């Protein structure tokens, strides 16, 4: 995140426009503090483009954006302005920009807001000329009449083509899934059908991902209209589902859903058609609750990086307006005009009934997830998967290691995708213990129906502790079970168990079958993957706990030292620090010295004194240093901080592993599990008896051969290898401590 220092007489302004989105405040904070670090004078335009017209513009300091990252909405306000669409309105806006000597503008909003910024940039020279001609300004009021624009996409619909993420989408999904989990309880009690309408005018992202995360039995999205007889099919699904033992029917409809004839299909129409067919249902329209509430950890994290990226774009002096995007799990930039045009082209395709083009605009991965959802909604495996008097393939699945939220979504996917492919799924109970003691059963289609919302593993897990004779017992059970393949979901303990089975093939022919390990670890420390099932839920638990800890401060000036899990991975510590606005973060990957700690104590004391702040925050990974423990750091800051603050410590412990899985953990679990099943079936089909481990790298699912583990360090031992999130630590310090304070200690 290298930002060059600028030497400019101009200033920079930030505005939020259009619909609000959780995470906008994180982006504002990232923009403001990175811009101040770069040497800009920074202004906020309050109430969006209308504020630009009215001159509602105020200069911001470092302290102006303190303690806002955890707030929903936008603290600088937003509004829709019809006046800005007129040239007369834009003339007023330019006059105010010139008054404050603003020649750079950051806009956080949707495609309409970003298009407005680009129109203003393009017209800027002619608007300046018109103001000069009318005598509203003199030639001395402006130098070179140019305006540079950068943008960040704030849209809960996640509808911008060219970016895998838009600010607010993850938080909105949190609100939706929380509501669906709550509705499931009452729906189960009454064996009732609920129709839930969610936002998504031109994009079905929220509806589709909510359906995958909640285990919905119906989903209507704009890009994939249902067939002509959709109501009859839905009635059949509901009635047959009741016979099969399904007690809950959640039907999710995006507000922009249409039928095959391009006629609007909302919740009321779905309810009416079901009523005609004798099916009673209830409607819940979530509405603006989807925009509300505190932003998720992911929204805070990525929006902060988006804000910093906007300033990076502005200091790069690019002629074309740029927007910050997330592609392949990395924050970067792309051209504003092309991205907006591609997004609007997808909208036009929907309006014209060209659903194939609209679907392709969402990307191959989105289309794949839509296909998975169609299979997961079924009441039973498709006809082609049923017995033809041949022995079915049998895939065993087990969960191993410590608790990780999201594992049940993976199990549900493995069971249903495996059965849909014509295989049998042998569910091994109690993890390694069940492998040894022969505890297993053949899973049925409806068994994992409501598993998604549960933490831990519904099959049971456990930590494998090697004892003599284990492998012989497992081999005997595999022979009895007639296993053709094995999927292990778990942490490094699960990987080590699979490694023992793989290496024992010469002694036990039963292990000469395809095997694959799926990463599930809150520490996010497994080789070959930038993401492990459970890490996002843990991160949200940490950030939620930090919010509560910070709110406990009243008038006292206090610094908190919070210890988080992670073993020898700094992922949770780094991401939690960036998402919560912590001042310091101590991780195992970066050596920690006593000199550094002393420097940080004095710097924190200076920050309290000079900024008149009330809280400070330090995040420490549990294994950051063998000697400099959480107790030691808290004592040092208390002793050397003087009278500026007192210190409290908090060790979060197992709370990080518990709770209902986050939407991201559920969805990524579905994704990884799907590829694991597909890889295993392909290996069996071509008689390849290899072992593999799966992971997400740069946003793509990658299948690694087991031999690659030799080149990976043991994640449960201290290493100094560079991690993909390593640059987060630099960003934490740059965004948390005022450069004026930092420069005092250099």
Catalytic residues: 157
Torsion of CA 201, 205, 210, 211, to 10 degrees: 100
CA distances from 168 to 26, 47, 171, 651 (A): 11, 19, 5, 29
Residues 6+ apart with CB under 8 A from 669: 406, 407, 408, 409, 410, 413, 520, 533, 661
CB 100 within 8 A of CB 43: yes
Which 3 state secondary structure label does DSSP give 700? strand
Q: How many CB atoms lie within 10 A of CB 133?
A: 9
Strand partners, 107: 15, 151
Look at strands 691-697 and 646-651 and give their pairing.
unpaired
What is the CA angle 105-110-116, rounded to 5?
50
> How would you class 368 by CB atoms within 10 Å of its CB: exposed for 0-12, middle for 13-18, buried for 19 or more?
middle
Residue-wise DSSP of 602-646: HHHHHHHHHH---EEEEEEETTS-SSS-HHHHHHHHHHHSTTS-E
Give 92-113 as a DSSP string.
Answer: HHHHHHHHTTEEEEEEEE-HHH
Distance CA 303, CA 25 (A): 8
Place of tokens 């907006």: 340
What are the angstrom distances between the C-alpha of 437 and each of 22, 161, 401, 460, 468?
49, 51, 17, 14, 14
Q: Do 42 and 313 touch, CB atoms closer than 8 A? A: no
For residues 257 and 211, give the distance between their C-alpha atoms in angstroms, rounded to a whole number: 14
Residue with the two structure tokens 């206090």: 558
Instruction: Compute the distance between CA of residue 702 and CA of residue 708 in angstroms, rounded to an integer.
Output: 12
Lookup: tokens for 622? 């549990």
SS3 677: helix
- CA 647/CA 642 separation, integer angstroms: 11
**Residue 55 half-sphere exposure, CB side, CA atoms within 13 Å?**
8
Spatial distance between the Cα atoms of 563 and 653, rounded to a whole number of angstroms: 8
Count of C-beta atoms within a 10 Å radius of residue 199 = 23
**By three-state DSSP, how is residue 430 classified?**
coil
Burial class of residue 445 in the structure, from the number of CB atoms within 10 Å of its CB (0-12 exposed, 13-18 middle, 19+ buried): middle
Q: Answer whether 382's CB lies under 8 Å from 254's CB.
A: no
C-alpha distances (whole Å) from 724 to each of 404, 502, 719 are: 22, 29, 14
According to DSSP, the β-strands at 615-621 and 584-586 are parallel
Helix (H, G, I), strand (E, B) or coil at 76: coil
Sheet containing 515-519, strands listed edge to edge, beginning at the edge strand earlier in sequence? 440-442, 424-428, 394-400, 485-490, 515-519, 691-697, 700-705
């Amino acid at each position: 995140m290298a930002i060059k220092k600028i030497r400019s007489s101009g200033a920079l302004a930030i505005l939020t426009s259009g619909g609000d989105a959780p995470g906008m405040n994180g982006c504002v904070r990232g923009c403001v503090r990175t811009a101040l670090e770069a040497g800009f004078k920074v202004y906020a335009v309050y109430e969006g483009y209308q504020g630009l017209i009215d001159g509602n513009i105020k200069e911001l300091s470092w302290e102006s954006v303190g303690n806002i990252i955890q707030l929903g909405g936008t603290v600088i306000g937003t509004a829709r302005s019809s006046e800005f669409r007129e040239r007369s309105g834009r003339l007023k806006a330019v006059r105010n920009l010139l008054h404050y000597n603003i020649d750079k503008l950051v806009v956080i909003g949707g495609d309409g807001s970003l298009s407005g910024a680009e129109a203003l940039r393009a017209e800027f020279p002619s608007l300046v000329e018109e103001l000069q001609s009318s005598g509203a300004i003199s030639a001395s009021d402006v130098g070179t009449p140019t305006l540079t624009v950068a943008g960040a996409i704030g849209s809960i619909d996640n509808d911008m083509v060219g970016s895998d993420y838009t600010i607010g989408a993850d938080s909105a999904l949190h609100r939706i899934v929380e509501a669906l989990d709550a509705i499931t309880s009452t729906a189960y009690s009454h064996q009732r059908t609920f129709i839930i309408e969610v936002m998504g005018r031109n994009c079905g992202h929220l509806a589709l991902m909510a359906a995958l995360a909640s285990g919905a039995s119906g989903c209507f999205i704009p890009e994939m209209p249902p067939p002509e007889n959709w109501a009859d099919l839905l009635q059949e699904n509901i009635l047959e589902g009741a016979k099969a033992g399904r007690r809950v029917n959640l039907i999710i409809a995006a507000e922009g859903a249409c039928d095959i004839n391009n006629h609007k299909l909302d919740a009321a129409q779905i309810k009416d058609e079901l009523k005609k067919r004798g099916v009673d249902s209830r409607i819940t329209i979530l509405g603006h609750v989807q925009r509300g509430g505190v932003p998720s950890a992911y929204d805070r994290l990525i929006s902060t990086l988006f804000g910093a990226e906007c300033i990076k774009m502005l200091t790069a002096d690019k002629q074309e307006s740029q927007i910050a995007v997330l592609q392949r799990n990395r924050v970067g930039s792309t051209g504003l005009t092309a991205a907006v045009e591609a997004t609007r082209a997808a909208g036009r395709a929907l309006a014209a009934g060209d659903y194939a083009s609209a679907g392709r605009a969402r990307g191959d991965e989105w289309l794949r997830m839509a296909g998975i959802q169609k299979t997961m909604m079924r009441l039973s495996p498709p006809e082609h998967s049923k017995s033809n008097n041949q022995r079915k393939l049998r895939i065993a699945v087990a969960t191993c290691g410590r608790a990780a939220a999201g594992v049940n979504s993976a199990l549900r996917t493995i069971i249903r995708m495996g059965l849909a492919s014509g295989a049998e799924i042998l569910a091994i109970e109690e993890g390694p213990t069940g492998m040894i003691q022969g505890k297993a059963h053949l899973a049925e289609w409806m068994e994992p129906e409501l598993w998604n919302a549960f933490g831990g593993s519904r099959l049971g897990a456990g930590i494998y502790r090697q004892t003599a004779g284990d492998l012989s017992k497992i081999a005997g059970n595999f022979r009895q079970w007639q296993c053709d393949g094995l999927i292990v979901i778990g942490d490094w303990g699960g990987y080590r168990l699979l490694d023992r089975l793989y290496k024992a093939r010469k002694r036990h022919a039963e292990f000469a079958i395809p095997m694959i390990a799926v990463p599930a670890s809150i520490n996010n420390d497994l080789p070959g993957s930038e993401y492990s099932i459970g890490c996002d839920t843990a991160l949200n638990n940490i950030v939620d706990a930090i919010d509560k800890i910070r709110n406990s401060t009243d008038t006292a000036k206090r610094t908190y030292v919070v210890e988080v899990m992670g073993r020898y991975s700094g992922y949770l510590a780094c991401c939690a620090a960036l998402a919560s606005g912590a001042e310091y973060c101590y991780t195992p990957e970066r050596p920690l010295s006593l000199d550094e700690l002393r420097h940080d104590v004095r710097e924190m004391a200076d920050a309290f004194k000079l900024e008149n702040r009330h809280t400070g925050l330090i995040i420490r990974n549990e294994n950051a240093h063998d000697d400099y423990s959480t107790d030691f750091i808290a004592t040092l800051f208390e002793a050397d901080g003087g009278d500026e603050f007192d210190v409290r410590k908090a060790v979060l412990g197992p709370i990080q592993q518990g709770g209902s899985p986050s939407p991201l953990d559920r969805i990524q679990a579905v994704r990884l599990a799907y590829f694991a099943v597909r890889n295993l079936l392909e290996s069996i089909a071509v008689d390849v008896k290899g072992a593999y481990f799966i992971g997400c790298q740069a946003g793509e699912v990658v299948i690694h051969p087991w031999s690659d583990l030799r080149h990976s360090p043991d994640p449960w031992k201290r290493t100094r290898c560079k991690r993909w999130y390593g640059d987060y630590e630099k960003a934490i310090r740059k965004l948390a401590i005022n450069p004026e304070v930092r420069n005092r200690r250099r």
